[in-house]
Structure 1
Amino acid sequence: MDIMVLNGDGIGPEIMDAGTKILKKLNDNFGVNINPVKYDIGARSLDQGKYKIENILEEARKYRAILKAPMGDPKLRNTGGTEIALDLILALRFDLDLYANVRPVRLLPGVSSPLIGYKSMDSINYTIIRENSEGLYSSHFGGLVLRDEVAIDNQTITRKGTERIAKFAFDLALKTEGAPKNGERSVVCTDKSNVLKSFAFFRKIFSEVSLEYKQIKPRYMYADAMAQYMILNPEELNVIVTENMFGDVLSDLGASTVGGLGFAYSANVSDSMGMFEPVHGSAPDIAGRNIANPTAMIMSTAMMLDWLGYPEYRKTIEKALFKTIEIGVKTTDMGGNASTSFFTENILNNMDQ
């Protein structure tokens, strides 16, 4: 199986190298026949005119899975002020209809949480499901700035979009073991329905869908209250479903509770196609220094394998990664001194054990 690999910007090629080395190890030693087809695509290649977005999308449609490194450079912006990289990132999500953004918030073994008393994924282990095809971010390709006096962006919430993301969240909850604290399987609808009609509509559709899932408890929380709840009671969470922008903000907050964005991995999926990527940025300030933490890229690779039908190899990767961290091989952001390449080599070696 061929998969599309987008090398991205900044630290992107370095951490992608870790992901593709793991795929090669699986090919050579475990018989997993996955061929990464690499494309040097990111904000810089777009800015230099090497690729057009419509050509990238046409190429992407040839693949079932895309493995994507971080993209972006704050210096490369459109005339309206938005980053060039977002043109491609959002085009991939919107045009390929990758409507479900899956962001696990999971405290990995050997990783410290800044929250007092939380020490393992037995205490923080939930998933944020972010609607990925509409919401406020769908205004990126529209919006209006008039005479340098007025700026307008519109939020779009549809019945179809809300129904399918709610069903996705409930179906995921069915497959989980529930919240770490009590084993309760639930989906929390997170919105601002007390303020905006679009969110009241989102909550209404969520409630309708919840009636189809008697085994799962529907819960409701405003987004600002959820931000507090994720800090004070993360062990009571199972699955959260929310709008596009709230999902972006809350998932970054969740990442901070499990060690930071270096441990934040994700999937963007439709019913037939998936794109897998770390949540963090391209960190151009440390690019080329071989010090970036590749954990999120590696976990995104494992997530892709699970989605493609190889759950056993996701477990193989995770076991090797966890062992590497637990024996004290850590990158600088974890409090260690391991380089990106040394950290990766240890994971590859631990895959044999």
Structure 2
Amino acid sequence: MARVVVAGAGAIGASIVYHLALRGADDVVLADVGEIAGGATGKAMGGVRQQFTTAAEVRLAQASVRLFEELGEPLFEQVGYLFLATSEAGLAELEERRAVQAALGVPVERVDASFVRGLRVDDVLGATICCEDGIADPAGVTRALVTRAAGLGVDVRERTDALSLDADVLVIACGAWSREIAAARGVDLPIRPLVRQLADVGPLAGVPAGLPMTIEENGFHFRRVDADGLRLAMTEPEPRWDGPEEVCDELVEDWRRRLAHRYPAATGAPVRRAWAGSYDMTPDAHPIIGLLADGVYAACGFSGHGFMQSPAVGAAVAAELLGEEPPFDLAPYRLERLTGDAEFPETLVL
């Protein structure tokens, strides 16, 4: 078969080469200018959810969850995603999303949030949870897939510029840097880096093993990271486009106050570490998947959802590259949608 070079050894690139190898491709290279999972994947929150607001995103997520389930613990823990509403408007939006998700087969349900031990809920008007959702280890999953792919014959090259390699097909899976790679091949991708940051706090006493990923109406969210620590993040009030990946200490302190309100046991918990990374945003927050030009294929623009969608994307892209029928329709993710009116905005970007 033709030689396929995949640029980017994050979750998307790793999944693509793994599924190519599974399908019998025998001339596949995975190249990254850095290390495996050294970019956005290694800095990710690690959430895996099906609770999106558009059918296009829900279908990607559903297929991915099934594949994550095959990995099992400790790489994937189905602790659930708990969304909280603290206003009437937020409650109405929660119900609207739940109806869309349920119609698509997502097992999301209304719950009394007080079932979560230690969670303050006196200001919560309603909550939904999908117990099939959960948390995973992005770097661990990615390295495991790369190891499996290498065992199946994939040539893995760290600290290597994919553009320097001969390729019949170049697959661009470089996250926020995909636009630069595409430009070198004469294609303009509407992808823009958006800086986001996270923080781990602890030690804390008795963080429940089954603590769900908990998402406030305002976008603040947290998850268990280990037996005595939590990971925090939030949609920032002022987007940081194209900026350096730097930590804003004021934001971290704001998150600690929010955490103390929602999870009082974490009051005063010190910051273990804080870091920043970049989302590869598209105008509608949906990925770009498909052929861009002769010998140039895109799998990027996941807008913060790349890791959680990587299993399904890898399987679908591998099938299409090999001339087979993908397991689900990739038409909604083509670049062409962004040149016309056929946009389907995903509003639930965390």
Shorter-chain TM range is under 0.3
Q: Considering fraction of residues, name the structure with more strand.
A: 2
Return the TM-score normalized by structure 2: 0.27
The structure whose RCO (Cα within 8 Å, separation 6+) is larger is 2
Instruction: Looking at secondary structure, tell me which structure has more helix per residue.
Output: 1
Normalised by the length of structure 1, the TM-score is: 0.27
